[in-house]
Amino acid sequence: MPSGARPHQYAKSEDSVKQGAEASLDVLALPAKASSTEHDEKSKHSPISSIKGKSVSVLHHTEHSDGNLEAVTTTPSPLPPYSVFSKRKKLFVVFLAAWGGFFSPLSANIYFPALTTLARQYNVSSTLMNLTLTSYMIFQGLAPTIFGDLADMAGRRPAYAIGFTIYFFANIGLAIQSSYTALFILRCLQSSGSSATIALANGVVADIATSAERGTWMGYVTSGPMVAPAIAPILGGLFADFMGWRAIFWFLVIMSGVYMIAFFIAFPETGRNVVGNGSIPPQGWNMSLLDYLKYRKVSKTNEIGLTQSTSREGQAALARPRKLRFPNPLGTLRVVKQKDAGLLLFYNSLVYTAFYDVIGSAPYLFQKIYGFRELQVGLAFIPFGIGALLAPMTSGKLMDANYRRLARKGGFPIDKKRANDLRDFPVERARLQVVVPQLALGTAAVLCYGWILQVETSLAAPLVMHFLIGLCLTGAFNCMSVMLVDYYPLSPSTATAANNLVRCLMGAGGTAIINIMIETMGRGWCFTFIAGVIAAMSPSLWVLLKWGPKWREDRRVLNA
C-alpha cells in the first residue's frame, strides 16, 4: 500500500461488517462478558457477523495521497463452527452429562421407601425424618449457585470433579453412619455434591449446541434428571425390602465411583471460556486422560495445525478475561432479579412444585388408599417414569421444529453449525408455543388426579394421570429451562443454577406441606388448588411473549 493511503472497507452482503483481527483466535468465538445473544458472541471475534459461515467478498477501497481510489477485493476466511465436536462426540458428552445429572434426583428420592424404617431405628418422628428431605432440596437449590459460577469461570470439569468427590465420600458416610444427626448432615453434603450436575449438564449443552438444535440436545441431557424421581423409589424399595437400607447408599457409592472413573478417563472440557469451540486444548491438569494422551502424541508428532505455541496463545487469550476467583453465588441472584428471567423462573418453579407435590405425596396416598407396601409403591411410579423419560425428547424435537418454522416464516437463517443471531428472533414464541399445550393438558391431569383419589377408583386411573403429569409437566418444565439458557447462552450454568435455586426452595416448601394440605383440604380440593395456581399464573407466559423481546434487548444493550 503506498504511503499515505487510507483504507475503506465495505462488505458485499446485507449485513454490516465489523473490522478486527480474525486470524488464529477467531475460532474461540467467546467474549469475555456474558451476553443474551449468540450473535454477540460471534460478532466480537469475526468481521462477518451474521453470514452462515460462508466466505463473503469484502471490497477494500484504498485512497492514495493523490486522491485516486484503488479497489482491492479480498475473501476472508469462513466463520468457524460453533463447536468442532462431531455428532458422535456430542452424543457421548451429552450421555455422560445426562448420567451425571441423574444422581441428584436419584439420591433425593431413592430412600423414600426406607423413611419409616430409619425413623424407627433412630427413634425419631416422621416429621424429623421429613426434614432430611426438605434440607436436601434446600441445599439442592443453594449449592449450584456456587458450582454454576465456578463452571462458567474455570470450566465444567473442575466443577464436576469437586462436586462428585464430595458426593462420593458423603455416600460412604451415609452407608456407615449410625445416628440421626449424622444422617441429616451427610444428606446435606450429598445434596451439595450432586445437585450441581444438572446446572453443569445444561451448561455443557450450551457449549456444544446452537439455539437451532438446543431443544433436542437439552431434551437428551435432561432425560436423566427427569426420569430419576420415578425410578428412584423403585430401586429404594427393592434395596430396602431385600438388603436393608444401608444397601441404598452403598449402591450410590458404587454408581458414583463408576461414573467418576468414566468422567476422569473420557469427559472432555467443553467450557467456551476455556476451550472456545473445542479447538483450543485446556491446560494439562484440566484434560481427560484420553485428551491428555491425544495432545501428548500431537505435541510430539505435530500432526495437526495447532502447535504447542499456538495452543499456549489460545489458552492465554482465553485466560486473560477470566481471572480465577472464589465462586460468587450473587451472580445467580442477578439472573433472578431480571424481569424476563425472574418471571420465567417463578412460573417454572410453580410447575416444578406441582410435579413434586404429586410424586412426593404418592407414597403416602397409595399406602393409605390401596394398602401398598414399600416395593409396591415404588412399582407404581413406573408410568410416571415413562412419561418423564419421553417428555424431554418429545418436547425437544417439538421446540426445534417450531424454531425452524418461525425462522422460515420470518426469513431468519438457520445454521446448526454456527451461532445464530437471536437479537430479533422471537425466542419466546419459539419456546412458549410448545409450552402452552403441555401445560394445559398437564394442569387438567393434576386436577383430575385429585378427584380420582378422592373417590378412590381402581388403580389404573391414577396411574394414567401419573403418566400424563410426568409427560406434560416435565415437557413444559424442560421447554422453559431451554428458554432460560437462550437468555444466557454464555453463562448457562449460572442461569440453570438460578433455576435450581428458585424451584428447589419453592419445591421444598411445597413438599413440606403437601400432606398437611391433603389432610386439611381433602385430596380433590388440594390438587384442584395446585392446578388452579398454575392456571391463575399462566398470564405470566403472555407477559413474556409481549414484553420479553424488549427486556431481552435492553439487557443485551446494557451488557454490551
In a domain, 420, yes or no: no
- Per-residue pLDDT of 83-138, as tens digits, reads 888 889 999 999 999 999 889 889 988 887 787 788 888 998 877 887 888 888 88
Mark whether 481 and 536 lie in a shared domain. Answer: yes
Helical ranges in 23-155 per DSSP H: 38-43, 87-109, 115-122, 126-154
Q: What is the pLDDT of residue 43?
A: 42
- The answer to whether the CB of 239 falls within 8 A of the CB of 283 is no
Mark whether 297 and 403 lie in a shared domain. Answer: no
Rg (CA), the chain: 26
The half-sphere exposure of 176 on its side-chain side, counting CA atoms within 13 A, is: 5
Mark whether 258 and 364 lie in a shared domain. Answer: yes
Query: Under DSSP, is residue 123 helix (H, G, I), strand (E, B) or coil?
Result: coil
Mark whether 176 and 252 lie in a shared domain. Answer: yes
Mark whether 374 and 519 lie in a shared domain. Answer: yes
Mark whether 96 and 61 lie in a shared domain. Answer: no
3-state secondary structure string across 324-346: CCCCCCHHHHHHHCCHHHHHHHH
Q: With cut-offs at 50, 70 and 90, classify the pLDDT of residue 445.
A: very high
Say what the pTM is: 0.70
In a domain, 325, yes or no: no
Mark whether 25 and 66 lie in a shared domain. Answer: yes
- Per-residue pLDDT of 234-290, as tens digits, reads 888 888 888 889 999 999 999 999 999 999 999 999 988 888 888 888 888 889 999
Single residue among 289, 319, 349 that ends a domain in this structure: 319
- The answer to whether the CB of 119 falls within 8 A of the CB of 167 is no
Number of residues in the chain: 560
Across the range 510-536, mean pLDDT stands at 91
- The answer to whether the CB of 36 falls within 8 A of the CB of 556 is yes
Q: What is the pLDDT of residue 469?
A: 95
In a domain, 273, yes or no: no
Mark whether 152 and 14 lie in a shared domain. Answer: no
In a domain, 1, yes or no: no
Q: What is the pLDDT of residue 427?
A: 86
Single residue among 31, 49, 74 that ends a domain in this structure: 74
340: cell is 424476563
Mark whether 485 and 553 lie in a shared domain. Answer: yes
In a domain, 456, yes or no: yes
The separation between CA 5 and the C-alpha centre of its own chain, rounded to angstroms, equals 52
Strand 69-74 with 58-63, pairing = antiparallel
In a domain, 538, yes or no: yes
Mark whether 120 and 239 lie in a shared domain. Answer: yes
Mark whether 379 and 457 lie in a shared domain. Answer: yes
Mark whether 133 and 154 lie in a shared domain. Answer: yes
231: cell is 425410578
Full domain range(s) for residue 371: 87-268+335-415+425-559
Domain count, the chain: 3
Q: With cut-offs at 50, 70 and 90, classify the pLDDT of residue 481.
A: confident
Sequence-separated (6 or more) residues with CB below 8 Å from residue 312: none
Q: Is 242 exposed, middle or buried (0-12, 13-18, 19+ CB in 10 A)?
A: exposed
Selected residue with higher pLDDT from 70 and 387? 387
Across the range 524-546, mean pLDDT stands at 95
72 phi and psi, to 5 degrees? -130, 125
Single residue among 74, 101, 133 that ends a domain in this structure: 74
In a domain, 356, yes or no: yes
In a domain, 328, yes or no: no
